[in-house]
Amino acid sequence: MPSHRYRDVYSRVEVPLTDRDWPSHRFTAAPLWVPVDLRDGNQALSEPMDPARKRRFFELMVRMGYKEIEVGYPSASQTDYDFVRLIAETEIAPEDVTIVVFTPARRDLIERTVASVRGIRNEVVIHMYTATAPTWRDVVLGRDRAALTELILSGGRDVLELAGHLPNVRFEFSPEVFNLTEPDYVLEVCDAMTGLWDATPERPVILNLPATVEIATPNVYADQIEYMHRNLARRDGVILSVHPHNDRGTGIACAELAVLAGAQRVEGCLFGNGERTGNVDLVTLALNLHAQGIDPMIDFSDIDEIRRTVEYSNRLEVHPRHPYVGDLVHTAYSGTHQDAIKKGFAEHRARARTEGRPESEIEWRVPYLPIDPADLGRSYDAVIRVNSQSGKGGIAYLLEAEYGIELPRRLQIDFARRVQERADSTGLELDAAQLLELFEHEYAAVGGEGGAELLTLQTESCDGIARTSVSIRVDGDEHSGTYEDVGPVEAVTALLRERGIDVEIVSLHQASIARGNDSEALTLLEFLDETGARWVSGRDRSVLTASVTAVLRAARTIAPLAAKPA
């Protein structure tokens, strides 16, 4: 590896801190959490959120209890501007939620940003940023320290002129790439901004110190934060904030040590979405506190609904091993782990009986499970059934080895339960052919077998607008419609919705069934009905027809379609 091409961080940023207090500090309360999913996370998506997805995500964060939310970059796109105006013109933001908007230090963009927040009744934070690190100064901005300071102060004066008179508006400044900026310079710039904006305890200024590109071990970031915490002017008028990224995979540690070093506020994303390797994960940070007996002040009691909404809005799946939320985090395959967990549950129940208190009030100390799955709205079924996890894997292996069908993890769990019921009722072993037969019975026969046929599908683009026209025949009746900026599956769901049937798709997976020289497409679709998440499948030589068939079968379980006599 050509490691000689890189410099260690100590030769780039030397923190003038000879002693440090943060190693002896302990967590006693949660910091202020500020999700930036709708801005920083959104700009990192290959398909940025449309208004519906953005609103659903915002409403989720409000329900979870976040009191300060960065909602967009209104000068960067019309979609972001319109969403901020939606907040101004409706009541989707409760009065106790602070709205944050993001802007560069450029007058015309600041004007656009201030215009977007006019009429918002909530407290508003205008968040201005400029990169300050040497490489950015030299390569990107072409300014020395003095010239960059003047650019930043000019932007700060514009913010003050345009919004300083608004009583519900406060200010935030981010020296982007703080962690690669000389400590004396970033301190100089931050003090200049708090002086310009007259930071006071009654109207504090937020100084956000981002590890925009993570380049050092977490202790270095903690030293940098403690240096600023100790030396900032007007410290009692400053809310010290951090914004770690995860380039080295230590964003969580950086945020935790930064809070121990004096940070009061943490910006990040739910499940860590963001540029490159992502922003720090606010869910993991908060639940780490929960696991230490500290109230994170955010409601995670339905973690699966949170995950579904985030996956829907981001169009990114959460990894099955993701801390706390992944499908496999409460699952043990090892026999020794399974035995310890079962004994832990038994001991927990016994302590509850001895103490005469509900199990939910007893100290949690079950081996291999750092927190009680029930705290997150999960049942104990997956944990108690860990003995059968290898059975789930065997079922999935047989279907894949014999027919090439790869089942998503959550479908593996659902199907394994049905296989177990069949095995218990017959007392016999099921081979691969019987598994396929049972699979088709359980997921391909859902809602009956009325006629479902895709008649036409056409996608075209005109004047920058993509249009999808679709026509289907269901039980002899033809239905058609044309939709803008949606794909084929979304077009079919829209067409069904017009008939009063709302199919809410959680996930859609494509597989195939190989039989000799023949190969058929298999669509596996997870959707929600009144009982929760369910699965159906569609199968055809055409991937598109298989997908449409799956959507129509899901529709039949929600509201049976009227059959037309032959």
Q: What's 9-314's CATH class?
A: alpha beta
* DSSP letters spanning 181-228: S-HHHHHHHHHHHHHHTT--SSSPEEEEEEESS--S-HHHHHHHHHHH
Domain ranges of the chain: 9-314, 335-385, 387-443, 452-558
pTM of the model: 0.76
Q: What is the pLDDT of residue 209?
A: 98
Other Cβ atoms less than 10 A from the Cβ of 466: the count is 13
Q: What is the pLDDT of residue 564?
A: 40
Q: What is the pLDDT of residue 387?
A: 30
Q: What is the pLDDT of residue 334?
A: 55
Strand order in the sheet with 98-104: 32-35, 265-268, 238-244, 205-211, 169-176, 124-131, 98-104, 68-72
Q: What is the pLDDT of residue 391?
A: 47
Q: What is the pLDDT of residue 562?
A: 42
Beta bridge partner(s), residue 208: 241
**Which residues does 128 contact at the CB level (< 8 Å), separation at least 6?**
103, 104, 105, 110, 155, 156, 159, 171, 172, 173, 174
Secondary element (H or E) of residue 465: strand 465-474
Q: What is the pLDDT of residue 444?
A: 86
Pick the CATH number of 452-558 from 3.40.50.720, 3.40.50.2300, 3.30.160.270, 3.30.300.30: 3.30.160.270
Q: What is the pLDDT of residue 470?
A: 84
Pick the CATH number of 387-443 from 2.60.40, 1.10.720, 3.30.410, 1.10.1220: 1.10.1220
Cα 239 from Cα 201, distance rounded (Å): 9
Q: What is the pLDDT of residue 388?
A: 36
Could you identify the residue written with the tokens 């506190």?
289
Q: Which residue, among 455, 454, 464, 498, has the nearest Cα to 484 in the 3D structure?
A: 464
Q: What is the pLDDT of residue 193?
A: 98
Exposure string over 292-306, b if 16+ CB within 10 A, otherwise e = eeeebbbebeebbeb
Per-10-residue mean pLDDT of the chain, 566 residues long, equals 80 85 97 97 93 96 98 95 97 97 97 97 98 95 96 98 96 97 97 98 98 94 98 98 97 98 98 96 98 97 96 94 90 62 84 92 90 86 40 64 83 85 73 84 71 71 80 78 85 84 88 73 90 88 85 79 41
Cα 490 from Cα 50, distance rounded (Å): 14
Secondary element (H or E) of residue 42: helix 42-43
Q: What is the pLDDT of residue 381?
A: 52
Q: What's 335-385's CATH class?
A: mainly alpha
Tabulate helix, strand, coil % of the chain (nearest 5).
45, 20, 35
3-state helix/strand/coil string of 438-452:
HHHHHHCCCCCCCCE
**Which residues does 356 contact at the CB level (< 8 Å), separation at least 6?**
none
Q: What is the pLDDT of residue 384?
A: 36
By three-state DSSP, how is residue 486 classified? Answer: coil
Q: Do 34 and 41 touch, CB atoms closer than 8 A?
A: no
Q: Do 77 and 38 touch, CB atoms closer than 8 A?
A: no
